[in-house]
Structure 1
Amino acid sequence: MRNISQRLQKIDSMVSTHYQSIWDCCCDHGLLGLTLLKRQTADTVHFVDIVPSLTTHLESLLQKHFSADDYIQAWQVHCIDVAKLPLVIQDKQLVIIAGVGGELLISFIESIITNFQQNSLVPPTSEIEFIVCPVHYNYPVRQTLIAHNFILLDECIVTENKRCYEIIHVKKQFGASADIDNPLNKISPTGDKMWDLSIKSHQQYLAKTIGHYKRMLLAAKDNEKQTINRIIEQYSSLTT
């Protein structure tokens, strides 16, 4: 089996407690899920992808290497749309979505929590954790998490192949008032605890992000300029 990338290594390290279920979504070759399975981080690791050839190959791999008694009940493979993720009601479960665009990630998150909320058996103490790592569109992803009252658990920046990625670990509580007013739980639209501007790659990533929105501003319609200016100001304030 192949070595996992720096992004997947970091996500793996952020899974520091045991879950009843971990859902590795858009799992591709399943490298992250396989790593989590070997570490026995969950009662069941679910491998989810919509491409049949990938899930068929992955199931064969799992049957070959993880068919012993210790593992046979510890994994499942699902060839489905992530938006239709068949979450069950459990005390502690984690959904991981990495390597997709921000727009698609937003639609996945909103579909997952909407479908879960529609289950009439959801108890008032239910919660779902997410670890997400969009390939772009980070600001709108964060705005979506804020709008749905997610709680921040952790976040970081990972540099891979000269490109920076944001990894965000959050929790969504259902039927109970989340402690979102606690400053430690708040999600910043530009990120907060992940930045270390003594690191050159973080400096470069911030400058690149500000430059991106400045270019957007040049092509923006009049009714869009105020919003983009506000985003530029928010990112620029990180340097002060």
Structure 2
Amino acid sequence: MTLLSKRLQAVYQMVDNNVRVADIGSDHAYLPVELIEQGVASYAIAGEVAPGPMSRSKEDVEKFGLSEKIDVRLGDGLAVITDNDAIDTVVIAGMGGILIQNILTRATTEQLQNVKTLILQPNIGEPLVRHWLVENNFAIVDEDIVEEDHHVYEIIKANKVENPVSLTEAQFLMGPILIDKKTKTFVAKWQHKLNSYQKAVENMGHAKKVDQDKIDVMNRYIKYIEEIL
């Protein structure tokens, strides 16, 4: 019996064995509970930014009798992590790319010092997340894409490295590993995007004031998508 939605199942699959994990914005602590129950993680923090979700997560953790191994904490972003926690894996799932980027940018050196792996699932704004990773010495090592309730989610796993390889604009946009995997869900997503970009370019061409910069960007995206598909 799994508590996890298809999206969280995909996030769960990316977590390495025997880790100490912090799940930021934990949503009932379902992911930490599953990770501890299955013996994937040895210790977990469920971070919540508001008291309501925090008490719900606490109740769920207690219900499963896991209070020894899962700490539910109230705090903003990675502020729930202290040095002594020795957290090596951070999960941030179910938020917009801008918010994820923001949470990571505000994290202190101490909060990130033991972190070797980030598993991020932005609802939108995936390229922003990839840019942050590359600019902050993380290499993307795995990606997944799943559809659930008519929404397509991308999951990005990155490891801390000395010198990350930069990505091309197409890789930032579509995901370096997703491009290689080219799953049915990936193809469907970009086929749909391609159609809407083409329509947008056509409409912008008819506008009273033509925004050439925007059209150029869209045309570049169209070219990448056509090449990759």
- TM class by smaller structure: 0.7 to 0.9
TM-score (normalised: structure 2): 0.80
Instruction: List aligned pairs for 1:64-79, cutoff 5 A.
Output: 64-66=63-65, 71-79=66-74
Q: Deviation of residue 90 (structure 1)?
A: 7.2
Q: Deviation of residue 141 (structure 1)?
A: 2.2
C-alpha distance in structure 2 between counterparts of 1:98 and 1:149, whole Å = 20
C-alpha distance in structure 2 between counterparts of 1:72 and 1:98, whole Å = 22
Preserved CA contact (<8 Å) 2:178 2:186: no
Q: Deviation of residue 64 (structure 1)?
A: 3.4
Unmatched runs of 5 consecutive residues or more in structure 1? none
**Over 6 Å off, 4+ runs:** 89-92
Across the aligned residues of Structure 1 and Structure 2, the Cα RMSD in angstroms comes to 3.0
Q: Deviation of residue 93 (structure 1)?
A: 0.9
Query: Number of paired residues?
Result: 219
Give the aligned partner of residue 91 of structure 2.
Answer: 96
Q: Does 1:193 align with 2:181?
A: no
Q: Deviation of residue 75 (structure 1)?
A: 1.2
Give the aligned partner of residue 207 of structure 2.
Answer: none
Give the aligned partner of residue 17 of structure 2.
Answer: 17
Q: Deviation of residue 88 (structure 1)?
A: 2.4
Instruction: Give SS of 1:194's match.
Output: helix
Preserved CA contact (<8 Å) 2:87 2:115: yes
Q: Deviation of residue 47 (structure 1)?
A: 0.4
Preserved CA contact (<8 Å) 2:74 2:80: no
Percent sequence identity is: 21
Instruction: List aligned pairs for 1:1-240, cutoff 5 A.
Output: 3-19=3-19, 21-66=20-65, 71-88=66-83, 93-112=88-107, 115-116=108-109, 119=110, 127-173=115-161, 177-178=162-163, 180-181=164-165, 188-189=171-172, 190-195=174-179, 196-197=181-182, 199=184, 201-214=185-198, 217=201, 221-239=211-229
Q: Deviation of residue 109 (structure 1)?
A: 1.9
Deviations 1:178-200 (A, max 9, x none): 3x3499xxx9312133244462x
Preserved CA contact (<8 Å) 2:33 2:70: no
Unmatched runs of 5 consecutive residues or more in structure 2? 205-209
Taking a change above 3 Å as real, the CA distance of residues 110 and 229 of structure 1, as seen in their structure-2 partners, is farther
Preserved CA contact (<8 Å) 1:213 1:228: yes
